[in-house]
Structure 1
């Protein structure tokens, strides 16, 4: 197919397709004439993957490029691919709550020890968790930090589901893609499910005040 057809099928504009090719995210088409190239269904699939990572998963172009290079290498085990992905996505935010970071670091270290989680000192996720806990402490929300064990228990169950899905795939490439897509889009999926659950449970766990109930007509 020509680029116009690729654009129609994928829903991605020709200019964006050319940009992805220049950035190395999308392979070039097969050159048929000086200014023409042919594209295949593989290009459609890759474009859908790119858009899912960038538009739904919120991954930067540079991170997406690194992840796709990882996927294309075909030389890593699913576990190695998962580790590389964690570091590729590990862009740190500017730390908030510098004065509370030592306390937050101790809290995180204690959590990991309690749960016997084997985590590298330089893990980006560990650093991000320390940053979040420091910000929570600075804002006076130590109660949220104290609830980390509950969150960790739920997260471990979710991670077990993630890895079971990866392990059920046949072929290294498919396992690697599942690890990448499942983690990135899974974050968005879990965020949406959490908000839906909050909306559902709030009516019973957070009943309105008497005044608010009267104002809204609720009983």
Structure 2
């Protein structure tokens, strides 16, 4: 297909396609003339991934290039998923205005809590994982606000997250191609995560309304 057709199929403007070609994000097409080239389905698939990384994931061109390189070198679906997961921004709680000494103590306590949680759950995640660091920072902020979770409460939430993670990976089952899998991963991380958070808030709204209604009737509304 010509570059104009590639643009129509992917929704990526011709100018953007040419830019991605110049930046080395998109492989060159098969030359048919001095200034013409043909592109195949692999280019369309690659463009969808680039679009997902830059638009949904919010990655820079440099970060996108690194992810694409990791995906190209991935020897398994797990390594392709890992490349995307580590590249996308990690949710981190806003840092408080505590003093350095207090922050150091909170960091040690939160770090120990996260390490204990991973051990209890038997989750395989290195201490260098950005998600471990992000969770540690979030627990630090909860402690600063005096709203931290007790270890048992945090584990209960983690078990729910584990169930969601299984569902996420089941949706990706059968995708052996690293590029297709990476595209799905970006969609799951960037779009499905907000959807899940909205479902959680809707569930909270439902529970609050049921409890208010139950109190108005003079009884407790048993949560479902």
TM-score bracket relative to the smaller structure: 0.7 to 0.9
Q: Which of the residues 170, 174, 177 maps onto 1:169?
A: 174
Q: Secondary structure at the match of 2:18?
A: helix
Separation (CA, whole Å) in 1 of partners of 2:207 and 2:76: 46
User: Does the alignment pair 1:114 with 2:116?
Assistant: no
Partners of 2:45 and 2:180 within 8 A in 1: no
By how many angstroms is 1:90 displaced? 6.7
By how many angstroms is 1:156 displaced? 1.1
Separation (CA, whole Å) in 2 of partners of 1:77 and 1:54: 23
Q: Aligned-residue CA RMSD in angstroms?
A: 3.2
Residue 30 of structure 2: aligned partner: 30
User: Does the alignment pair 1:204 with 2:207?
Assistant: yes
Q: Secondary structure at the match of 1:142?
A: coil
By how many angstroms is 1:202 displaced? 0.3
Separation (CA, whole Å) in 2 of partners of 1:145 and 1:50: 40
Q: Secondary structure at the match of 2:146?
A: coil
Segments of 5+ residues of structure 2 without an aligned counterpart are 214-224
Residue 130 of structure 2: aligned partner: 124
By how many angstroms is 1:197 displaced? 3.7
Separation (CA, whole Å) in 2 of partners of 1:61 and 1:145: 40
TM-score normalized by structure 1? 0.76
CA deviations over 1:56-113 (Å, ceiling 9, x no partner): 233333333222223323x512333344444444779797246132221122112112
Segments of 5+ residues of structure 1 without an aligned counterpart are 211-219
Residues 1:196 and 1:88: Cα distance change in structure 2 (over 3 Å): closer
Query: Greater CA deviation, 85-94 or 113-122?
Result: 85-94
TM-score normalized by structure 2? 0.74
Q: Which of the residues 139, 145, 161 maps onto 2:145?
A: 139
Q: Secondary structure at the match of 2:31?
A: strand
Residue 49 of structure 2: aligned partner: 49
Partners of 2:67 and 2:84 within 8 A in 1: yes
Query: Greater CA deviation, 52-61 or 115-124?
Result: 52-61
Separation (CA, whole Å) in 2 of partners of 1:23 and 1:93: 31
Partners of 1:25 and 1:65 within 8 A in 2: yes
- Aligned length, in residue pairs: 206
Q: Secondary structure at the match of 1:33?
A: coil
Residues 1:70 and 1:5: Cα distance change in structure 2 (over 3 Å): same
Residues 1:103 and 1:177: Cα distance change in structure 2 (over 3 Å): same
Partners of 1:92 and 1:124 within 8 A in 2: no
